Structures are given as structure tokens and as C-alpha cells.
Structure 1
């Protein structure tokens, strides 16, 4: 399990243990927002959008506890999730563009 904590070890080497929880909270929050936007976000009214992000703030706090206290590779997992979702969205964009070009040529 120690081999999967690359980001945790890097942050520990650069910053030590001071403020490590908040560093990982920000990392988890940013990566979670990107994953949400890439894979799950829909157009919502402003109040519902604020509520979703508020719940995301709370959920990321719990995720950060797993990441720092229990030393689970949550940051690394979020990086992989974002890469997969970015590849999926890019491929979907090109498929839709190709489909649009095919229908306009007919």
C-alpha cells in the first residue's frame, strides 16, 4: 500500500507535517470539483448549484480525513478519475463533431 501514496510522500517531503491537512483538503477539493464538472455537472439553478458545492465541501472534508489520517491514496485516485473523465469527454466531443459533420454532408 505504501507505493500508492506518491502525492502524500511528495507533500510530506516538501512541507513536513505542518498544515498537511489543509494542503490535502485543497488538493482534494480542486480535484473533486474538476471531476464533478467533467463527469456529473448539469445546468442547475444558482441555489441548487450552491447546495451541491456546499455538500462537496463537506464530503471532501471527510475524504481528507481518509487521505491524511488513514493515509489512503485519495488524491492519486482523484487524479486517475480526472484523467479518465478528460479522455472520455474529449473522445465524446470528437464523436459528436464527426457525427455532426456526417449529417451536414448528407
Structure 2
């Protein structure tokens, strides 16, 4: 669905790099929502470099094999966002209960 839309809007000249940037941004958001921990700067850079390399491979699947990776990443971000929101709300409610019982 996204592939056809981008092809229609931009043509085929830079389709791989357009999808690479989209996949990289969505992968970084998914990483931040679901898996990121506080790391030192050098380790964080290594993680993002490896994310860039992995995204290159994922982009090959997305453009050459026409797999719906962008759509899957959007769904992953949506689910992780809901999870984080509910976790935040639950922690806040737990803190409020502890404060009121003290």
C-alpha cells in the first residue's frame, strides 16, 4: 500500500533510499518505545549503527521483495505506544495510591 503510493508520487528513481529513510525512522521510534535503555554514548552509537545496517537489509525486503515492512513498523509503533501509555498510567495510579495511603 505504501509502496504503490510512493511509487505514484515519486517514481522509481530514488525509491530504495526513500524507503530506507522511512524504515530507519520507524525502526528508531520502535526501538525507543520498546527496547531502549539508558546507555553510554558510545554504546548508543553502536546500537544505532547496527540499526542502520539492519534497516538496510529490511529495506531490501521492502522494495525488492515487496514485503509490507513499513506497514508492519507502523503497527508495531502503534502497539508499543499503547503499551507505554498504559504502563505510564498504571505507574502513575500506583504512585497515587501509595501517596494517599501514606
The two structures share one fold, judged by TM-score above 0.5: yes
User: Are 1:68 and 2:43 an aligned pair?
Assistant: no
Q: TM-score, normalised by structure 1?
A: 0.94
Q: 1:94 aligns with which of 76, 89, 97?
A: 89
Note the alpha carbon deviations across 1:47-94, whole angstroms, 9 max, x for none: 100000000000000000000000000000000000000000001000
User: Are 1:27 and 2:47 an aligned pair?
Assistant: no
Q: TM-score, normalised by structure 2?
A: 0.98
User: Are 1:15 and 2:10 an aligned pair?
Assistant: yes
Runs of 4+ with >3 A deviation:
none
Aligned pairs, number? 101
Determine helix, strand or coil for the equivalent of 2:80: helix
Q: 1:49 aligns with which of 44, 48, 54?
A: 44
Determine helix, strand or coil for the equivalent of 1:41: coil
Shift of 1:96: 0.4
Q: Which runs of 5+ in 1 are unaligned?
A: 1-5
**RMSD of aligned alpha carbons:** 0.4
Which residue of the partner structure matches residue 81 of structure 1? Answer: 76
Q: Which runs of 5+ in 2 are unaligned?
A: none
